[in-house]
Chains A and B, each alone.
Chain A
């Protein structure tokens, strides 16, 4: 409940996973584009957003398949060189989603895989965050997931604040909302 208002948590749960229905569901034909009446049949394979899949799988109505971004192919790629894999294109909320999926699918190896991925990528992110120039967005940002982007920005901003403190620049600034219009 602590994350009820959390914007990112809401967006993580908007990601889609493929699921298999164990029971028939009436009146929800809009979920399954292939259904002919207004129902989803037993055994149908349907793409559901994570928020719905979480609850339904807890009640054993559906079974969640592990999305391809956590599959064997990606795991091999990550093992080869974690820092170079473009995780953003695979799943923008790789870690958060992985944590939630580990819960639902009960895959015992998923947690360890996420940890080793982050461990492999963290050093590079931290190094680049602390040395990056102020304004330009480095090219490698396009490889990062949302969570990693936050880490990167936190590192870059703390470095920037430190520099500002050391150089004793102006400490009072105008409110950011007014920054749009120039005088």
Chain B
């Protein structure tokens, strides 16, 4: 039996529906059932990821860490406490971003990742895991900063913790990436779009975690955190953006 053919796509659609229902319930302040549905969506999203690893009767770790489908799962986990919290604007913004990344994962036509030479080492799997998790942290921090701007909040900088831990995980991701590049290609840093945009993101969030020490106002900090979404989106959705530009031009 091969779970891979189409099963994960149905799971992702089901996860999207559950996230959407959770968003509607959150909007109508039915928080308990809304948070239950987001967890249900997370479980279905997780099943989709695990099913990706079942190829030809064997289980492989690498395909389970497909970034496009991993990011919504991590974001759903991060969104859970936000939904249960008091801020409706925060919850709705976070759910909006979650719906968007899940929608992209549903509509993008990509073949499920297959085992290959490049990914036969464990470090490749951990690299994609850490990159996906940190990208979810950064996207979520941008969403929370956007919500803070909407309500013109001057005290609540709830995104700071996400930026800090996203940066920690992303730094480990850079180390794993360097190890992977060295053992596979012989150089720890490659002059490629992927590595340079990764380095750009690292420098950006390196600056973002120092914002609190320079006496900048909350609005400026929030704006900078929102801008951080641009290189993250470019890194994760690079191929899709290029394809879209090709169609538009």
Pairing of A with B? no
Residues of chain B touching chain A, judged by Cβ–Cβ distance below 8 Å, are none
